[in-house]
Amino acid sequence: MKKTLYVFLLGSLLTSCASDSEDDLLVEIDTNQEITYKNDVKKIMDQSCATSFCHSSSNRSGGLVLETYEEVKTAVENRGVISRMKSTSSPMPASGNLSDATIAIVEKWKEQNYIN
């Protein structure tokens, strides 16, 4: 019984890191548009990364929390967050890659020097 519960909890953890709906995140990026953490990137992180079973302060999956501007900026600069979002072998979220448009928002934010 204990083993079954452990397998169930582990399975739940591994399948919970997901973006339930990307429909509201799909946007065309205007190359002149200013991307900010507050208006654009935070929403992506909150819905797709800093969930209760992934990169939140209550879980810290991989020792990584993605709840604040500084945490996300540091992770993009030093932890390869964008590469993991694009990875086909080890994607983040674990349920599968975010849309290209969503990833492009984070990339544009980085290119614009992490506007808060």
What does the domain layout of the chain look like in residue ranges?
32-116
Query: According to the model, what pLDDT value does residue 1 have?
Result: 52
pLDDT higher than threshold 50 for residue 8: no
Task: Tell me the CB-side half-sphere exposure of residue 85, using CA atoms within 13 A.
Answer: 21
Work out the average pLDDT over 49-61: 91
User: In angstroms, rounded to a whole number, what is the distance separating the alpha carbons of residues 56 and 49?
Assistant: 8
Percentage of the chain surpassing pLDDT 70?
Answer: 73
Q: 39 burial class (0-12, 13-18, 19+ CB within 10 angstroms)?
A: exposed
pLDDT higher than threshold 80 for residue 28: no
pLDDT higher than threshold 90 for residue 42: yes
Q: Is pTM, for the whole model, over 0.75?
A: no
Work out the average pLDDT over 47-68: 92
